[in-house]
Amino acid sequence: MTPTSYFPHKNNQMFVENIAVSDIAKKVQTPFYCYSHTAIEASFQDYQNAFSNQDTLICYAVKANSNQAVLTTLSKLGSGADVVSMGEIQRAIMAGIPANKIVYSGVAKTEEEINYALSLGIFQFNVESEPELALISKVATALNKTAAIAFRINPNVCAQTHEKISTGKAENKFGVPISKARVAYKEAAALPGIKVQGVDVHIGSQLTNLTPFTEAYQHIAQLVVELREDGHDINVIDVGGGLGITYSDEIIPSKQTYAEMVHAQLGHLNCKIIIEPGRSLLGNAGILVSSVVFVKKGEEREFLIIDAGMNDLIRPSMYDAYHQIIAVDKASIDNNEEPLKTYDIVGPVCETGDTFAKARQVHDAEIGDLIAIMSSGAYGSVMSSTYNTRMLAPEVMVKGDEFAVVRTRPSYEDIIKQDITPDWL
């Protein structure tokens, strides 16, 4: 799936499913996020097909895009959820994802959160440390419940991705070092309220090459053999998420190729496989639509100042991430019919980092033109904020001829009324 697969140009207009993006913009106003229901469904089914000959539970990584309409779409297709907070558990449950399809990851689960997850009866806790395990045991014992656990193993493998989203090296805060795993499992087996059932690993996000996954899964396979020798009943392997998407021209291994590699590395162990994809389900199913507010000629560069900012999509400023930026109502850029110009594309926020692209070629633009920031379906809206007291961008989902606002734009009053001025001021 490329950034434009589900947002094609027809007669010089960008479409999402059967609706022109500009028609939505007229009704919703910019900036807004726009998701294709069909694209989400297609990527999920791709995973289902790829893993159809393995006993697999797909647990969508809710953090990538936690909109209730997105979760409901995936829930209806049979997805489980990988969650990292009590809020995400609530979202998953409210979208109809059953508790027994929820795996709970996250580095700092609190007593309250563990209590909540246990009372619901989730499928598995992915435990990040020995102190966390002790807390889970304490809470489970008090509730007279048993917590099914896997340790998240840190295999000390370089994911070859951006350092801020690389999680499987020894210096990263995540997981139990593989060298200490056997001791950790021995301790876990002896604790009350704990049932050891699996092993978990997640080495990072936006991986464009299978080699780091393969290396990590080889270590995990070896560990499962050792744990079984130690007497543990290991029957679940959670292989994490992390398969990348095409933002620019990256060539990503297909889900089928990924599934075959998982089978080659782990199939002989006869475990239930859990996968936790996030970005690869949602990334290219969404765009951020914005309008040109001003075209400004600087001394050295020309700026396209748009009405979306780093508060709406932080990926370019946080990770120097590349997103394609395309004029909505011009000829497809592939046609090369219209003149292109070089702009720095920037937002309205008062920071130099509020830059979406430097020296980028797009169509010659005028005030009011619509532009789309592609590949924004994952880690877009969920990472947005009201910085500069800007309203959160609404989210729209399109299915065939229909579209719906699936999160509304708040009013300034909604934002401001959350603050309280004490009487004594």
- Binding residues for ligand LLP, rule: CB under 6 A, are 61, 63-64, 82, 105, 165, 202, 205-206, 240-242, 276-280, 315, 319, 378-379
Q: Given 34, 59, 158, 350, which residue is catalytic? A: 350
Of 193 and 380, CB closest to ligand LLP: 380
Active site (annotated) includes residue 350? yes
Q: Are 86 and 113 in contact (CB under 8 A)?
A: yes
Whole-number Å distance between alpha carbons of 205 and 166: 7
CB of 39 to ligand LLP, least distance (A): 15
Q: How many angstroms separate the Cα of 120 from the Cα of each of 3, 99, 406, 417?
A: 38, 6, 27, 33
Residue type, position 291, single letter:
S
Q: Tokens 């995936």 appear where?
A: 74
Of 158 and 295, CB closest to ligand LLP: 158
CB of 378 to ligand LLP, least distance (A): 6
Residues 6+ apart with CB under 8 A from 39: 1, 5, 6, 284, 285, 286, 377
Of 281 and 370, CB closest to ligand LLP: 281
The sign of the dihedral angle between the CA atoms of 76, 78, 82, 87 is positive
Edge-to-edge order in the sheet of strand 13-16: 9-10, 13-16, 19-20
Q: Decide: residue 382, CB within 10 A, 0-12 exposed, 13-18 middle, 19+ buried.
A: middle
Residue type, position 131, single letter:
P
Write the DSSP string, 105-126: --S---HHHHHHHHHHT-SEEE
CB of 282 to ligand LLP, least distance (A): 8
Which letter does DSSP use for residue 170 in this model? T
Write out the H or E segment, with its range, that includes residue 272: strand 272-275
Of 240 and 394, CB closest to ligand LLP: 240
CB of 369 to ligand LLP, least distance (A): 26
Which letter does DSSP use for residue 8 in this model? -
CB of 240 to ligand LLP, least distance (A): 5
Which letter does DSSP use for residue 329 in this model? T
Of 154 and 290, CB closest to ligand LLP: 154
Q: Are 364 and 342 in contact (CB under 8 A)?
A: no
Residues 6+ apart with CB under 8 A from 298: none
CB of 49 to ligand LLP, least distance (A): 18
CB of 302 to ligand LLP, least distance (A): 28
Residue type, position 217, single letter:
Y
Of 165 and 295, CB closest to ligand LLP: 165
Q: Which residues pair with 207 in a beta bridge?
A: 243
Of 197 and 206, CB closest to ligand LLP: 206
Q: Tokens 């029957």 appear where?
A: 235
List residues with catalytic annotation: 350
